[in-house]
């Protein structure tokens, strides 16, 4: 499919400056309007504040765009528009039909890599869903990350997933997972999923050095996942989190929601039943991830001023 870079992103990639890819599914399907547009602007501001160039990714009129303009961000964030949720498998369909789509972790990673962007900030990556032994519900993110050399800064995986199984799949796919200033794997709204991490890093420069070494190894290279916990002040209370999660899982099961519709349904349930606390946590963690990603991108850039 055709991939179009904004002039700013094209110049930054071509001149060896740091660029951070940002997904658009968070904006079109993860946050309500008008907060989605406000967060889109804040994400780009955070990346710029750390001397990198933001590149929000989406598909518009069947063209993959890496680096949305302000008008294009308005379009993706407009709740009145039909914006499909596009994973890796959906890109060709959207391109052939000339449609609009918001990109997930899998599709954003694919398009960012195709554009020469080496760092990506998101909220949380997908993983193995609970009950996957019966449903086979495993996010495409895992296989795409296994074959795409990109640094992905995230707040771990959402607690609605099977965290243990997800970590096992990441290991089996040879995807390094680095804890950013932590030795425990985070779970999106919660700073600690209950799982230890083998590797801890303290700075963006350390992440960049590991990524360069990983990608320069023998054979195909995978992504490097950087797990950055939600800021402590925005973390959801454990008791509240667990009660809402249990009720949300029961609601999803009762409503017969399956596949890619499960995550947005559960996130919406959290937003509705935590008096906005989960929404604030979501915003705080993705902004924190953008800051870390920008530091990594600058450290990876050969000609960063």
Classify residue 209: in a domain, yes or no. yes
Note down the domain range covering 250.
3-300
**Ranges 105-109, 124-128, 157-161, 273-277: which has the least confidence:** 157-161
Integer Cα distance of 211 and 235 in angstroms: 29
Specify the pLDDT at position 258: 79
State pTM to two decimals.
0.95
Residue 263: pLDDT band with limits 50, 70, 90: confident
Residue 185 pLDDT: 98
In the annotation, is 134 catalytic?
no
In a domain? residue 117: yes
Burial track 263-279 (b if 16+ CB lie within 10 A, e otherwise): bebbbebbbebbeebbb
The predicted-structure confidence for 107-156, as pLDDT tens digits, reads as follows 999 999 999 999 999 999 999 988 887 777 889 999 999 999 999 999 99
Q: What percent of the chain clears pLDDT 90, i.e. is strictly above it?
A: 85
CATH of the domain at 281: 3.40.1790.10
Tell me which of 44, 158, 235, 283 is the catalytic residue: 158
The per-residue pLDDT for range 184-239, each reduced to its tens digit, is 999 999 999 999 999 999 999 999 999 999 999 766 689 999 999 999 999 999 99
Annotated catalytic residue: which of 23, 44, 235, 283? Answer: 23
What's residue 262's pLDDT? 80
Cβ atoms of 187 and 154 closer than 8 Å: no
* Distances, alpha carbon 10 to alpha carbons 83, 109, 113, 299, in Å: 25, 17, 13, 19
- Split into its structural domains, the chain has a count of 1
Q: Is 206 a catalytic residue?
A: no
* CB 180 within 8 Å of CB 228: yes
Give the tokens for residue 193: 């999923």
- In order, the DSSP letters of 49-114 are HTT-EEEEEEEETTEEEES--HHHHHHHH-TTS--EEE-GGGHHHHHHHT--EEE-HHHHHHHHHH
218: Cα separation from own chain's centroid: 27
Residue 20, SS3 per DSSP:
strand
In a domain, 305, yes or no: no
Q: Is the pLDDT of residue 266 over 90?
A: no
d(CA 4, CA 154): 25
């Amino acid at each position: 499919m055709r991939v179009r870079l904004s002039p700013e992103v094209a110049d930054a990639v071509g001149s060896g400056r740091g660029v951070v890819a940002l997904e658009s599914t968070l904006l079109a399907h993860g946050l309500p309007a008008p907060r989605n547009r406000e967060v889109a602007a804040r994400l780009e501001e955070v990346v710029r504040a750390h001397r990198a160039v933001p590149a929000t990714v989406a598909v518009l009129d069947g063209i993959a765009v890496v680096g949305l303009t302000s008008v294009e961000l308005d379009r993706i964030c407009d709740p009145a528009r039909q914006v499909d949720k596009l994973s890796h498998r959906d890109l060709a369909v959207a391109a052939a039909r000339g449609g609009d789509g918001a990109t997930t972790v899998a599709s954003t990673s694919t398009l960012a890599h195709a554009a020469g962007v080496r760092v990506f900030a998101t909220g949380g990556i997908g993983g193995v869903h609970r009950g996957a032994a019966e449903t086979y519900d495993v996010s495409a993110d895992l296989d795409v990350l296994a074959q795409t050399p990109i640094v992905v800064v995230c707040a771990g995986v959402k607690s609605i997933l099977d965290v243990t199984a997800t970590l096992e799949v990441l290991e089996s796919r040879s995807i390094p997972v680095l804890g950013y200033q932590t030795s425990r794997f985070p779970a999106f709204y919660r700073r600690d999923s209950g799982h230890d991490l083998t590797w801890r890093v303290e700075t963006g420069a350390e992440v960049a050095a590991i990524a360069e070494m990983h990608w320069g190894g023998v054979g195909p290279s995978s992504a490097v996942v950087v797990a950055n916990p939600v800021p402590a002040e925005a973390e959801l209370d454990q008791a509240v989190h667990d009660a809402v999660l249990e009720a949300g899982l029961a609601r999803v099961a009762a409503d017969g929601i399956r596949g890619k519709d499960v995550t947005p349904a559960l996130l919406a349930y959290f937003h509705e039943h935590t008096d906005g606390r989960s929404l604030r946590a979501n915003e705080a963690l993705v902004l924190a991830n953008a800051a870390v990603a920008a530091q990594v991108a600058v450290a990876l850039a050969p000609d960063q001023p």
